[in-house]
Amino acid sequence: MACHRSQPRIYVALDTADEGRVRDLLAVLDPSLCGVKIGKEAFTALGPRAVEWARERGFPVFLDLKFHDIPNTVAQACRAAADLDVALVNVHASGGRRMLEAAREAIAPGADTPALIAVTVLTSMEDADLVEIGVSDGAEAQVERLARLTADMGLDGVVCSAREAAAMRALFPGESGLVVTPGVRPAGSARDDQRRVVTPAEALANGATSLVIGRPVTAAAEPGKTLEAIVAEL
């Protein structure tokens, strides 16, 4: 696997379309403690400006757009993402071998290029949800199937539930292997629409390399202090 820029232990998810809210969160969070995840909601409403604001404050950015399209389209999107100077880009592993290969070829390895990871099974999905789309052997088997394909195609890691993190670290070992886990909820936090959830400490113990934490930080009365408390706990 290629050597890309280093990854923070925590990405705080800025899942909002509100420009003022994004700017407020960037102002109160500490870029020495976390990166920020900019996903579909913020990017659709605010565009590349949201990435620029985060980069100006010194945050590593996870551009969480989960590209899933024909190979050429995904390759062009990955190139455009790399041009935004982000730290991490993702695609859907279910896009298949040729799409993953095109994405990998689009981002040249290097210390200043984004790492490229693939989503296996969304943490909002349970076995019953997978049955409805034709996957009958459960989330765990589907995660492993897609992760092996991702590793075969030379990507840097995966997005998965922390419950699957240990198995994923076996496929993506060492300092360059990435296991990024959403669905992380500090003890006592609401589960919201996530299903396969664990605490931050459990996620790291299971083998996660970066945690994505959203509402437990961003919906807190004092997001900056809440982030500091989570980091201190780790």
Determine which one of 24, 69, 85, 127 is catalytic.
69
Answer yes or no: is 185 a known binding residue: yes
* Catalytic annotation, pick one of 24, 30, 40, 64: 64
68 marked as part of a ligand binding site = yes
Consult the annotation and say whether 123 binds a ligand. Answer: yes
Residue 72 assigned ligand-binding role? yes
Q: 69 among the known binding-site residues?
A: yes
Q: Is 137 annotated as a binding residue?
A: no
CA–CA dist 168, 151 (Å, integer): 10
Query: Is 194 a known ligand-binding residue?
Result: yes
- 59 marked as part of a ligand binding site: no
Q: Is 92 annotated as a binding residue?
A: no
Is position 218 annotated in a ligand binding site?
A: no
Q: Is 69 a catalytic residue?
A: yes
Token code pair at residue 117: 């990871």
Question: Where do the H-state alpha helices sit in 88-178?
Answer: 97-106, 127-132, 138-152, 165-171
Compute CA distances 6 → 2, 59, 193, 206, whole Å: 12, 12, 30, 20
Q: Catalytic residue among 18, 24, 66, 127, which?
A: 66
Q: Quote the tokens at residue 16.
A: 């909002």
**Residue 64, annotated as binding a ligand:** yes
SS3 221: coil
Binding residue per annotation — 130?
A: no
The per-residue b/e assignment along 107-117, b for 16 or more CB within 10 angstroms, e otherwise, is: beeeeebbbbb
Residue with tokens 């075969």: 152
Residue 215 is assigned to a ligand binding site: yes
For the annotated binding site, the residues are 15, 37, 64-73, 123, 185, 194, 214-215
Q: Which residues are catalytic?
A: 64, 66, 69
For the annotated binding site for substrate, the residues are 15, 37, 64-73, 123, 185, 194, 214-215
